[in-house]
């Protein structure tokens, strides 16, 4: 065995011997002592596997050495090996998992070489051996199946084990209460109810026309999950800088226009300081868990995977959520020439990644010209009946749509409710009759759930939001009324309901109050 093999073995052991989370993760991914060539390395690996079963909150090389001494196997060779391990720069989790894959591949090749030699030897025998041909070939086939199984990252488990786990979990649930299957998105309570939470292992798509607030809506979901669950959230954007994304989050929390934050003195005046303090307090609730990243050509799915593993390791958690803005910009190492095939490959890779990491992944998607036309401004001459009956974009309108709608577990479309927005603007005009310059700019948007795998049975598959354009802020209203398409629908009454809901929530009051500092 070359020195490179020794280094890989020692590097992997140094990673899992100094960190219990890495030890658990690597063992779950199929590590076992027989992958190692060195007898000393195998001895240490066996001790680490035994430590996993003990209730130690942490491990390190001193604990490992103590365990080996208790077993009576702490020889000079073992001590020297541990000393060399201590000199290694400890690999991060993604590196440790890559080393594990290399060791699995090495062992698979070695077993294939031995099997090949055995096949050749049997075929060259002039006199038949004690084993018959069917018996020998059956053994060879079983060896190939074992090699294939061992090469898989996750160990196969029978469905009976999964059934027992589900039954055991159900016994610990509160009686008569249905739990969420994913992370809560509160204060987006209706969306949480509709999706049964943001679910690990699910791949979400969010599409819509330009200037509908897709990035802001995704930032809201990201911040809500981080605030509610205190797990790491990776937000990659190939569209906006980290500075702009940060300003948008601060605007959401403070009620101040993000452009004002980036161009003016935010602390001018007592009201400005009060608004800024409110924003900083809001960001403080999740600021350590949200990571805003400017996507580059190097940020392939493999690199995103590595960043996720390392962040999970840093937070000592198996929970993480990934947002990508947007899908069509995710780079590939060897992109196909056909744009449609390229997007299909990206989408399939993201679906696979959500399953591998067992985490929710949300990818924002642009839509084509036809989709944009369906959601464009109908003009001032449009009648209310026309606005109520007009179509909207669907996931079929995603740019390069092919496998996207099939890969997704949940497909969401954000579109403008032109009729409701018009009615609400008319109502606001009467409320702000003496201060037109201070009238807030609010769009009423519909979030349609066009695909929802394993969906709970809900009366509506769309949720309405008030989008405060100046503040980049979404406020959830309610499920979209199903009777809006009826001729007797009272749009102005619905606008009044929205107005009173926003007033009760303090959202319109905060808007009126902050006009003076713009």
Look at residue 509 in the predicted model and tell me its pLDDT: 61
| Mean pLDDT for the stretch of residues 385-413 | 81
User: pLDDT tens digits for 49-85?
Assistant: 888 777 666 778 888 888 888 888 889 998 999 888 8
DSSP 380: T
Range from 72-86, 150-164, 209-223, 390-404 that averages highest in pLDDT: 209-223
Domains parsed from the chain with CATH numbers: 3-124+137-151 (1.10.860.10), 189-517 (3.40.50.300)
Residue 77's CB: how many other CB atoms inside 10 A?
13
Report the candidate in 460, 92, 490, 478 with the shortest Cα–Cα distance to residue 303. Answer: 92
User: pLDDT tens digits for 200-233?
Assistant: 999 999 999 888 999 999 999 999 999 999 999 9
- The answer for 89, left when phi > 0, alpha when psi is -120 to 50, beta otherwise, is beta
| Mean pLDDT for the stretch of residues 488-508 | 82
Report the candidate in 320, 343, 323, 322 with the shortest Cα–Cα distance to residue 331. Answer: 343
Burial of 239 (C-beta count, 10 Å sphere; 0-12/13-18/19+) = middle
Look at residue 446 in the predicted model and tell me its pLDDT: 94
Look at residue 511 in the predicted model and tell me its pLDDT: 45
Look at residue 514 in the predicted model and tell me its pLDDT: 43
Look at residue 172 in the predicted model and tell me its pLDDT: 67
Share of the chain above pLDDT 90, in %: 33
Q: Which position has the higher pLDDT, 267 or 85?
A: 85
Look at residue 88 in the predicted model and tell me its pLDDT: 79
Residue 447 near residue 465, CB atoms below 8 Å: yes
User: pLDDT tens digits for 473-493?
Assistant: 999 999 987 766 555 556 678
């Amino acid at each position: 065995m070359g020195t490179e093999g020794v280094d890989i073995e020692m590097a992997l052991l140094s990673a899992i011997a100094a960190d219990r989370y890495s030890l658990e993760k690597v063992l779950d991914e199929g590590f076992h002592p027989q992958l190692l060539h060195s007898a000393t390395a195998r001895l240490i690996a066996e001790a680490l596997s035994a430590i996993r079963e003990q209730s130690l909150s942490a491990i390190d090389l001193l604990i490992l050495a103590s365990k080996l001494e208790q077993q009576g196997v702490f020889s000079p060779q073992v001590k020297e090996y541990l000393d060399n391990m201590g000199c290694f720069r400890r690999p991060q989790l993604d590196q440790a998992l890559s080393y594990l894959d290399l060791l699995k591949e090495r062992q698979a090749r070695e077993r294939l070489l031995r099997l090949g030699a055995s096949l050749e030897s049997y075929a060259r025998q002039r006199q038949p051996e004690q084993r018959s041909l069917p018996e020998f070939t059956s053994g060879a086939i079983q060896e190939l199946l074992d090699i294939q199984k061992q090469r898989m990252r996750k160990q196969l488990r029978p469905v009976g084990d999964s059934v027992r786990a589900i039954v055991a979990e159900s016994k610990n649930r509160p009686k008569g209460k249905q739990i969420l299957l994913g992370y809560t998105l509160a204060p987006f309570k209706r969306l949480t109810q509709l999706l049964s939470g943001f679910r690990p292992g699910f791949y979400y798509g969010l599409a819509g026309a330009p200037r509908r607030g897709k990035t802001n809506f995704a930032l809201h979901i990201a911040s809500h999950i981080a605030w509610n669950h205190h797990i790491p959230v990776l937000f990659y954007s190939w569209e906006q800088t980290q500075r702009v994304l940060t300003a948008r989050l601060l605007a959401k929390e403070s009620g101040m226009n993000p452009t004002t934050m980036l161009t003016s003195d935010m602390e001018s005046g007592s009201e400005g300081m009060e608004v800024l303090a409110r924003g900083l307090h809001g960001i403080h609730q999740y600021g350590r868990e949200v990571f805003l990243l400017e996507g580059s050509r190097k940020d392939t799915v493999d690199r995103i995977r590595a960043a996720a593993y390392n962040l999970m390791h840093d937070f000592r958690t198996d929970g993480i959520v990934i947002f990508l803005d947007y899908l069509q910009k995710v780079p590939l190492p060897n992109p196909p020439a056909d744009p449609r095939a390229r997007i299909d490959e990206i989408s399939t890779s993201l679906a696979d990644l959500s399953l591998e990491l067992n985490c929710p992944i949300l990818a924002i998607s642009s839509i084509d010209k036809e989709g944009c036309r369906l959601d464009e401004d109908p003009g001032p001459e449009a009648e209310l009946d026309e606005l109520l009956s007009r179509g909207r974009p669907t996931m079929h309108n995603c740019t390069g749509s092919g496998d996207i709608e099939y890969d997704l577990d949940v497909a969401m479309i954000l579109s403008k409710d032109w009729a409701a927005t018009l009615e609400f603007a008319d109502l606001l005009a009467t409320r702000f009759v003496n201060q037109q310059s201070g009238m807030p700019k609010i769009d009423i948007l519909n979030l349609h759930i066009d695909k929802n795998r394993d969906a709970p049975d809900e009366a509506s598959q769309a949720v309405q939001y008030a989008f405060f354009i100046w503040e980049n802020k979404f406020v959830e209203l309610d499920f979209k009324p199903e009777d809006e398409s009826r001729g007797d629908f009272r749009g102005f009454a619905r606008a009044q309901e929205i107005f009173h809901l926003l007033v009760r929530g303090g959202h319109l009051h905060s808007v009126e109050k902050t006009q003076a500092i713009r």
